[in-house]
Structure 1
Amino acid sequence: MSKINIIPLGGVRENGKNMYVVEVDELIFVLDCGLLYPESDLLGIDIVIPDFTYLEENKNRIAGVFLTHGHEDAVGALPYFLENIDAPVFGTELTIELAKLAVKETGLTPKFDSYHVVNEKTAIEFENVVVKFFRTTHSIPDSVGICLQTKEGSIVYTGDFKFDQSSPDMYKTDFAQITSIGTDGVLALLSDSSDAESALENASDLRVTEEIVDTFNNAEGRVIVASIASNIMRVQQIFDAAYQTKRKIFMTGSKLVEVVDTAIKLGKLVLPSRDVIVTEENLDKYADNELIILETGQTVDPMQALQRMAKNKHSQIQIAEGDLVYITTTPSTSMETVVAKTKNILYRAGATVKEISDTLKVSGHATPNDLKLMMNLLQPKYFIPVQGEYRFQAAHAELANEVGIPYKNIFIPGKGDIMEYKDGRMRMAGQVPAGNVLIDGIGVGDIGNIVLRDRKLLADNGIFIAVITISRRQGKILSGPEIISRGFVYMKVSEDLIKNSAEIARKVVEDNLKNKDFEWATLKQEIRDSLSRYLFEETKRRPVILPIIMEASSYTKKR
């Protein structure tokens, strides 16, 4: 009997950063390797990736990384994973190419080349495990689910998916294969929970295309479309609608162009006409009612780019009177404030704004009926809701119970939790190291809670600096204290506060200089404490206080 452990290192109790570890005896199978774009409270952080500590400690046991699709939440952390772990990477054709782009963009592992293209017919045999794939419908082509066949039954990971009977052939779900996997016996199902709370069903992709065509037809001037570069289904719909309405598309941003070029070369995105895309140099040749501007931003958020357009700070496009800004992405709950702010800025610049979500429920993720259908097709013994905040996982767990899976066989894990299958029963069996690794520029994991706390303090209350030069030998202050404030108070109208702060710092230094063996750390801490008490009494705010104490060097001049 095989020993099986299932361990989420990301993608649970959060929206993104999908990474799931399945251990079968001595082999480790890594399912997806995604990143998460941070919320606003992670000041200065570019991206968040999983903690790879457990995998680095067991890297000799890793059979491979198996990817479900090419979005950042599934492949974005791969460059950082491969920096310290040499493991083969498996994925469909487009997924592998987008993964290579992600690795190339960081420049971390330029020599890595162990990529392997798979499809729904691929079966990869390992000791005691056969890895298979099945086609799913998502907002990007070449999306698959993963099936690990073991002696105890299959472990199935759906990846991001939805069911849509009107999807083009390139996006169609393979219901027959899913049914076959269920017939053979599924031990555990890890399934997408992102839309488990939805009260509405998704609009079909055919209906979405019709809506986009209607919007383009009714627009009297330019249409500036906000989308996501890796949502290739939406990009295809925009291309098709532009062609049907006799408009030309100008794509902004190098990332969008790179993704589109890759998809076109692989035949995963089809241009309805060669001349549907125009360059920046040719924009003046077309009237406003002949143009579509496709903006995707540099990450998954085109809102900042729209704001730059409205403020005349965009390098290519500025919002003009009469423009229609068409937001074709459905913002997450955390983004609703940003979207509202962006719409306000756009209206002030003279544009009108329309959101596709105003009229249609649009998502690449399964709604409750789809989720229950997947469970009924696969008939798993154990169920593990993944990919979503805790409330989505909990809602998905309720759906699982509705289709007959007992609560005792449903697990809602946190990051690092071990679900162990042993002696014919699955149970929680401890934890492995797991959490968030913060990426700030080229720094990986060197930003901790203390740094983030300081950044928040700086953002909320500013910084207060006291600069003093002393002579330990003479036991006196040579210059200063000089007070510098940034983001705390306006110095020109706070002369009394600055003067009193300087006197407080002076007194602390003079008291310490009476003892020539004083400790530098003690001196600086006493300055911080004294200034902090005074400033809080006067302003009810606590800036970051930075004492800078310099000691003048002394020497005897040679004659």
Structure 2
Amino acid sequence: MSHIKIVPLGGVRENGKNNYVVEVGQEIFVLDCGLKYPEDSQLGIDMVIPDFSYLDENKDKIAGVFLSHGHADAIGALPYLLEKISVPVFGTELTIELAKLNVKNYPPTKNFKDYHIIDEQTEIDFADSTVSFFRTTHTIPESIGISIKTVEGNIVYTGDFKFDQSAVPMYQTNFSRLAEIGNEGVLVLLSSSSNAESNIQTASERQIAEEVYDTVRYWDGRIIVASVANNIQRIQEVLDAAHKSHRKVVLTGHDLEQVVKTAIRLEKLELPNDKLIINERQMKKHRPEELLILETGRMGEPIKSLQRMASRRHRSINIQEGDLIYITTTPSIAMETIVAKTEDMVYRAGGVVKTISDNLQVSGHGNQNDLKLMMNLLKPKYFIPVQGEYRVLAAHADLAHEIGIPYQNIFITSNGDIVEFEKGKMRMTGTTQAGNVLIDGLGIGDIGNIVLRDRKILSEDGIFIAVVTINRKQKKIVSKPRITTRGFVYVKASKDLMKESASMVEEIVTKSLDDKDFEWAKLKQDIRDQLHKYLFEQTKRRPVILPVIMEVNQKKH
């Protein structure tokens, strides 16, 4: 009897950052290694990755990392894991090539080479289990689910999926393989929950392709299409529509160019003609109605890039009168406010906004019927909904109960929860360290809640700096306090406030110098406390207060 342990390190009660640990006997299988993009409150943060402490503590047990597809929520954190732990990486050809782009672009892991290309025919034998794969339908080719066969039954992870009966061969689900795994016996299913609240039938990709073409061919001016860089299927639909509408396509951004070149090289993306794509310098040779600009933004996120275009801060392209901004990505509920703000900025800049979801229900994730079909095909004994915030995990749990899985066999987990199978029964047994690691530039995990709090205060109430120079031996102030402020008040209109603040600082410093138990830390804290109280009373604002105390020693001549 195998000892089985399942630990989500990311991807539950949140959108993105998928990272699941399956431990069978003395071996650990890491399923996906993704990132998520920061929330509004995480000011200045580039991305958020899982806390890999559990994997670092058990690195000798890790058999490999198994990737379900090539989107950032599945592969984006891989370089940061490989920097800590060098382990084999398994995935389909396209997924591995996209993962390599991430890993090579991160200097500490640029020389990593332990990749293994698999397909749905691959079976890999380990000490107490066998890992195999099955094709699924998503918005990128070669998406797969992962099955870990143990003596207790299969442990199945679906990855992102939906069912599309009219999908082209490259994107088709292997239903017979799913049924085969189900007939073998599934102990536990980890299934994507992203769209578990929706019972609306999502549009097929054929319908979406027609919608994209109709939008492109009937617009008279320039078109800027916002898409996610790794959504290969959507990019193919946009390229096809541009070709049929006699438009040239401009790719913006290094990320997008890398993805497109990789997909073309692997024949996962087809260029309708060799002269379809032009560079930004060639745009001037064409009229606006002959151009389609494909914009994905940094790291594949297009919305913030559109904001830069609308506010004329983009490095090369600004929105102009008559532009159509066509948003072909479906944002999460958490992004709705940002998208609404972006649309407003576009209209003020003279553009017009259309979203692909205006006329169609578009998603790369299965709706309620798809999720129930997946469970009926696999017939799991236990069920763990993953990939989504709590409300969608709970909705998915209810769907599982509808098809006959008792609630006591369903586990809605938090990141770090440990679910174990021992003595014929699965139960939650404890927790391990798991949380968010914030990436800011080259800094990994060095930004914590205190720094984020200061950034938030700076963004809302600004900074208030008090500078004073003292001679501690002579117990006197050499240079009277000078007050500097940014983002707090308009100085010229607040002279009395500045004067009173300077007097207060002078009084505090003088009193401190006369104290025989002089302490630098106490002096600075006294300045902060009293200024904080005074400034709040006068303005109802709480700026970051930064006392700068300089000391000089005046020598006698």
Counterpart CA distance in 2 for 1:3 and 1:165 is 39
The AA in structure 2 aligned to 1:49 is I
Instruction: Indicate the SS of the match to 1:189.
Output: strand
Of 525-534 and 182-191, deviating more is 525-534
Match of 2:309 in 1: 309
Instruction: Indicate the SS of the match to 2:105.
Output: helix
Match of 2:93 in 1: 93
1:319 Cα offset (Å):
2.2
The AA in structure 2 aligned to 1:159 is G
Match of 1:324 in 2: 324
Change beyond 3 A, Cα 1:453–1:281? closer
Match of 2:149 in 1: 149
1:555 Cα offset (Å):
4.2
Deviations 1:317-346 (A, max 9, x none): 232322211111111112212222222222
Counterpart CA distance in 2 for 1:342 and 1:299 is 18
Deviations 1:392-419 (A, max 9, x none): 0000000000111110100000000000
Deviations 1:400-459 (A, max 9, x none): 001111101000000000000000000000011100111111111111111111111111
Match of 1:538 in 2: 538
Match status 1:410 vs 2:410:
yes
Deviations 1:298-357 (A, max 9, x none): 134312222332333333323232221111111111221222222222222222221110
Deviations 1:172-231 (A, max 9, x none): 101010110000000000000000001311100000001111111211122211111110
Instruction: Indicate the SS of the match to 1:314.
Output: coil
2:217–2:241 CA contact under 8 A, matched in 1: no
In structure 1, stretches of 5+ residues that fail to align are none
Counterpart CA distance in 1 for 2:551 and 2:285 is 67
1:120 Cα offset (Å):
0.4
Counterpart CA distance in 2 for 1:447 and 1:394 is 32
Match of 1:171 in 2: 171
Q: How does 1:156-555 map to 2 (within 5 A)?
A: 156-555=156-555
Counterpart CA distance in 1 for 2:550 and 2:360 is 64
Change beyond 3 A, Cα 1:136–1:442? same
2:199–2:369 CA contact under 8 A, matched in 1: no
Matched length: 557
Deviations 1:74-99 (A, max 9, x none): 00001100111011000010111111
2:255–2:300 CA contact under 8 A, matched in 1: no
Instruction: Indicate the SS of the match to 1:108.
Output: helix
Deviations 1:493-539 (A, max 9, x none): 11111111111111111111112441111111111111111111111
1:472–1:516 CA contact under 8 A, matched in 2: no
Of 266-275 and 285-294, deviating more is 285-294
Instruction: Indicate the SS of the match to 2:108.
Output: coil
1:4–1:24 CA contact under 8 A, matched in 2: yes
* Cα RMSD (Å): 1.2
Counterpart CA distance in 1 for 2:279 and 2:544 is 49
Instruction: Indicate the SS of the match to 1:343.
Output: helix
Query: What TM-score, normalized by structure 2, do the two folds share?
Result: 0.98
Report runs of 4+ in structure 1 exceeding 6 Å deviation: none
Counterpart CA distance in 2 for 1:514 and 1:318 is 61
Of 457-466 and 46-55, deviating more is 457-466
1:556 Cα offset (Å):
5.7
Of 3-12 and 303-312, deviating more is 303-312
1:283 Cα offset (Å):
2.3
Change beyond 3 A, Cα 1:380–1:316? same
2:18–2:35 CA contact under 8 A, matched in 1: yes
Instruction: Indicate the SS of the match to 2:299.
Output: coil
Instruction: Indicate the SS of the match to 2:314.
Output: coil
Of 510-519 and 33-42, deviating more is 510-519
Identity value in percent: 62
2:145–2:156 CA contact under 8 A, matched in 1: yes
The AA in structure 2 aligned to 1:275 is K
1:43 Cα offset (Å):
0.9
